[in-house]
């Protein structure tokens, strides 16, 4: 009997340690240093610091519904324009990674808002939830935009990776408030994504460990990983969505975006880039990326707004 109890006790300790490790990895993924991000973007000629410095901009702190503050930068070179873009960066990145996308839309007559997700950059918040809490922070940014610019403001939301999943969850679960969305390399289900990552990392079937990770996330961070699933809500989105992915992405597989595209009803467009790994569709396919955006704005968004 003592041997059995000892074995059970050891198993419980092992399970607890493994559950804590996996939940810690999810909640507190190591972030990139801001200066490293800036240096990378400058080196790749995606960021010109002098040009950025000259842009008319305002730092705006926005209250999250969860008690912390979100750091945002509002860039308004088109003073009389009521067209805006909000940009959502990926996990481990920050708002400086959004500048390359922002510049595309500044060239197309939009003003812009870049901001740091919770626990990233200069924003508050202690954990990352891959869209679960971030979607409500995105609503806070949208609310601030509408309060400042009026209910007739015309705006879209662009997101990369976690940011793309966040905007889909926002539109499908919170409010379909934007006039259009651009989702670049989102996961369709965080459960499926984590199982893939656990399998790769632990060299055992990740589905064995997911329930344990989910239990510890529910205990430690107050939500279930199963509820971070854009695929479950994408069919609720009525506004146009441009889905983007690289066919060479082996981190978040392009099949995830294809599944989201297939399930989305109504106005939509799909662009699968030929080159680049995860979150590299713009970096390695810039001309085609811009053409996809122009076609989306001209033929999908405009047609939807005039229907």
CB burial string 33-57: b at 16+ within 10 A, e below: ebeebbeebeeeebbeeeebeeeeb
Beta sheet of 154-160, edge-to-edge order: 57-63, 69-75, 111-115, 83-88, 154-160, 180-184, 241-246, 268-273
What CA–CA distance (Å, rounded) separates 219 from 102?
A: 38
Q: How do strand 241-246 and strand 180-184 relate by DSSP bridges? A: parallel
Task: Please return the burial class of 65, using the count of CB atoms within 10 Å of its CB with bins 0-12, 13-18 and 19+.
Answer: exposed
The domain defined by 35-189+228-305 carries CATH number 3.40.50.1820:
yes
> How high does pLDDT run on average in the chain?
94
pLDDT in tens, 8-41: 455 456 668 888 999 999 999 999 999 999 999 9
What CA–CA distance (Å, rounded) separates 145 from 233?
A: 24
pLDDT in tens, 187-209: 999 999 999 998 988 787 888 88
DSSP 8-class letter at 31: P
Cα 135–263–165 angle (5° rounding)? 25
DSSP 8-class letter at 79: T
Q: Which is higher by pLDDT, 166 or 208?
A: 166
pLDDT in tens, 230-280: 999 999 999 999 999 999 999 999 999 999 999 999 999 999 999 999 999
What CA–CA distance (Å, rounded) separates 92 from 116?
A: 10
Q: Which is higher by pLDDT, 181 or 303?
A: 181
Share of the chain above pLDDT 70, in %: 95
DSSP 8-class letter at 133: T
Give residue 7's pLDDT band: very low, low, confident or very high (50, 70, 90): very low
Cβ atoms of 47 and 38 within 8 Å: the answer is: yes
Beta bridge partners of 156: 85, 180
pLDDT at 294: 98
């Amino acid at each position: 009997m003592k041997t059995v109890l000892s074995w059970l006790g050891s198993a419980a300790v092992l399970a607890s340690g493994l559950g804590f490790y996996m939940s810690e990895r999810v909640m507190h993924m190591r972030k990139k240093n801001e200066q490293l991000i800036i240096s990378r973007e400058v080196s790749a000629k995606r960021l010109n610091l002098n040009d950025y410095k000259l842009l008319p901009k305002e730092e705006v702190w926005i209250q999250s519904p969860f008690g912390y503050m979100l750091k945002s930068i509002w860039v308004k070179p088109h003073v009389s324009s009521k067209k805006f873009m909000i940009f959502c960066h990926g996990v481990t990145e920050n708002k400086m990674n959004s500048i390359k996308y922002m510049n595309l839309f500044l060239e197309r007559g939009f003003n812009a808002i870049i901001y740091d997700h919770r626990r990233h950059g200069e924003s508050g918040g202690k954990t990352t939830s891959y869209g679960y809490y971030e979607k409500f922070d995105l609503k806070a940014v949208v609310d601030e935009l509408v309060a400042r610019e009026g209910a007739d403001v015309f705006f879209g939301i662009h997101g990369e990776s976690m940011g793309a999943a966040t905007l889909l969850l926002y539109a499908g679960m919170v409010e379909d408030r934007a006039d259009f969305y651009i989702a670049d390399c989102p996961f369709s289900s965080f459960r499926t994504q984590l199982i893939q990552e656990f399998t790769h990392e632990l060299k055992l079937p990740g589905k064995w460990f997911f329930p344990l990770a989910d239990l510890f996330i529910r205990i430690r961070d107050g939500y279930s990983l199963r509820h971070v699933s854009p695929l479950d809500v994408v069919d609720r989105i009525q506004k146009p969505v441009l889905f983007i992915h690289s066919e060479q992405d082996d981190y978040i597989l392009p099949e995830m975006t294809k599944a989201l595209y297939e399930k989305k009803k109504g106005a939509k467009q799909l662009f699968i880039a030929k080159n680049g790994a995860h979150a590299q569709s713009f970096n390695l396919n810039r001309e085609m990326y811009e053409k996809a955006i122009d076609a989306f704005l001209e033929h999908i968004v405009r047609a939807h707004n005039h229907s």
